[in-house]
């Protein structure tokens, strides 16, 4: 039997200054190579969940932590942060808050330098990470002079240089224009195809649901739905959760009701081919 790469068991977590828990008895497993989309209303526990996956919670935040989080075989409560950082990379909503070096190259080299790797190894990792995200040409630039989308790519490259097996992204496209957002999401899809396990928090399901293998929905600190994006978006109860259902799904659901069909499309392409007589 294959061990899950992420295993969260009975996780209940309360922030230090808070009276009620932000996560309540969360149980979650992901297999290596999965692309997991995480969604749900604001304040439902998504961000807290992300922080728990790389050990920021409880190691940096304190608070009351019950249950366990094991990533790549390591328990987050008993593993040093630098060990976890080589396995789980966390990308935040606002890249400005993460970048602090004078050049893109220094920024991306920062993590590997702290692992005491050889100079050649560091240089190789930096080149590789920058070319993977497609910003090798920005190597000499200062992160400050880049656009939001480019900054987010720098933040992702900095994590890739640590060669993590898991990338956790907390609304990485929230502040980006649509084309930059699309390019970050497509990058995630490519990285996932190359074997990286991706956990992505995103509200704009129309842009990403077709890329994911699985979709989990948080509400009130709990996982309330867990299944394929089709299972989740086409379920009857999903509308009550206040998440934005893509228009293609709304159209298909309506056609299913009025024509007794069983459409499960997630993209305009899928639905258009069906209507034109080429079922997908």
Partner 1 sequence: MISVEGVTYSYGGDVVALDGVSLEVGDSELLAIVGENGAGKTTLVKHLNGLLKPQKGKVFVGGIDTKETTVARIARKVGLVFQNPDHQLFAETVEKELAFALTNFGASPEEIRSRVEWALAEFSLVKYRDRSPFTLSGGEKKRVSLASVLCYDPEIIVLDEPTTGQDNLQKTRLAGLLTKLNRQGKTVIVVTHDIEFVADFIPRVVVMSRGKIIADGKAEEVLVAKEVMESSSLLPPQLAELSWKLGLKHPSIKLDVVIGEISRMLEASAK
Binding flag, residue 243, partner 1 (CB under 8 A): yes
Choose the stretch contacting partner 1; rule: CB under 8 A; options: 22-30, 40-48, 79-87, 127-135: 40-48
- Contact partners, residue 263, CB within 8 Å, separation at least 6: 252, 253, 255, 256, 271, 274
Q: Are 32 and 5 a contacting pair, CB within 8 Å?
A: yes
Q: Which is nearer to partner 1, 122 or 271 (CB)?
A: 271
Choose the stretch contacting partner 1; rule: CB under 8 A; options: 18-26, 155-163, 173-181, 209-217: 173-181
CA–CA dist 29, 68 (Å, integer)? 12
Place of tokens 């009975």: 10
Q: Are 67 and 26 a contacting pair, CB within 8 Å?
A: yes
Binding flag, residue 179, partner 1 (CB under 8 A): yes
Q: Write each residue from 122 to 151 as x if it is in contact with partner 1 (CB under 8 A), else as -, in one continuous string.
A: -------------------------xx---
Per CB under 8 A, the list member of 140, 277, 278, 279 interacting with partner 1 is 277
Taking the complex as a whole, the smallest distance from the CB of residue 108 to partner 1 amounts, in Å, to 23
Q: State residue 204 phi and psi, 5-degree precision.
A: -85, 80
Taking the complex as a whole, the smallest distance from the CB of residue 276 to partner 1 amounts, in Å, to 7
Per CB under 8 A, the list member of 68, 174, 190, 226 interacting with partner 1 is 174
Taking the complex as a whole, the smallest distance from the CB of residue 27 to partner 1 amounts, in Å, to 24
Q: Which helix (H) or strand (E) holds 186?
A: helix 178-193
Q: Are 127 and 148 a contacting pair, CB within 8 Å?
A: no
Q: Are 197 and 5 a contacting pair, CB within 8 Å?
A: yes
Q: Where are the beta strands (DSSP E) in 128-257?
A: 166-170, 197-201, 214-219, 222-227
Residues 180-219 that bind partner 1 (CB under 8 A): 180, 182, 203-204, 206-207
Taking the complex as a whole, the smallest distance from the CB of residue 236 to partner 1 amounts, in Å, to 17
Which residues are bridge partners to 90 per DSSP? Answer: 168
Other C-beta atoms lying within 10 Å of the C-beta of residue 83: 12
Taking the complex as a whole, the smallest distance from the CB of residue 264 to partner 1 amounts, in Å, to 16
- Counting residues that bind partner 1 (by CB under 8 A) gives 38
Binding flag, residue 41, partner 1 (CB under 8 A): yes
Taking the complex as a whole, the smallest distance from the CB of residue 148 to partner 1 amounts, in Å, to 7
CA–CA dist 251, 246 (Å, integer)? 9
Q: Are 121 and 198 a contacting pair, CB within 8 Å?
A: no
CA–CA dist 140, 142 (Å, integer)? 7
Choose the stretch contacting partner 1; rule: CB under 8 A; options: 38-46, 61-69, 76-84, 134-142: 38-46
Site residues (vs partner 1, CB under 8 A):
40-43, 93, 147-148, 171, 174-175, 177-180, 182, 203-204, 206-207, 242-244, 246-248, 250-251, 254-255, 258-259, 268-269, 271-272, 275-277
């Amino acid at each position: 039997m294959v061990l899950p790469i992420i295993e969260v068991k009975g996780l209940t977590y309360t922030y230090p200054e808070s009276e009620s828990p932000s996560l309540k008895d969360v149980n979650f497993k992901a297999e290596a190579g999965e692309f997991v989309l995480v969604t749900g209303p604001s304040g439902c526990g998504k961000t807290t969940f992300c922080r728990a996956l790389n050990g920021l919670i409880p190691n940096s935040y304190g608070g009351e932590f019950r249950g366990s989080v094991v990533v790549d075989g390591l328990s987050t409560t008993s593993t040093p942060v630098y060990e976890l950082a080589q396995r789980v990379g966390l990308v935040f909503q606002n890249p400005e808050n993460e970048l602090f070096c004078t050049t893109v190259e220094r920024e991306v080299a920062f993590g590997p330098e702290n692992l005491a790797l050889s100079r050649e190894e560091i240089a190789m990792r930096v080149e590789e990470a920058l070319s993977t995200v497609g910003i090798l040409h920005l190597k000499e630039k200062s992160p400050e002079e880049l656009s939001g989308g480019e900054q987010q790519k720098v933040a992702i490259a900095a994590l890739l240089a640590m060669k993590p097996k898991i990338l956790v992204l907390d609304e990485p496209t929230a502040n980006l224009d649509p084309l930059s957002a699309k390019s970050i999401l497509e990058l995630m899809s490519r990285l996932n195809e190359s074997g990286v396990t991706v956990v992505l928090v995103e509200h704009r399901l129309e842009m990403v649901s077709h890329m994911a293998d699985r979709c989990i929905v948080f509400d009130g600190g709990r996982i309330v739905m867990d299944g394929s994006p089709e299972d989740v978006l086409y379920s009857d109860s999903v509308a009550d959760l206040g998440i934005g259902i893509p228009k293609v799904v709304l159209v298909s659901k309506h056609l299913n009701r009025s024509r007794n069909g069983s459409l499960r499309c997630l993209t305009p392409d899928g639905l258009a081919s069906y209507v034109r007589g080429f079922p997908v």
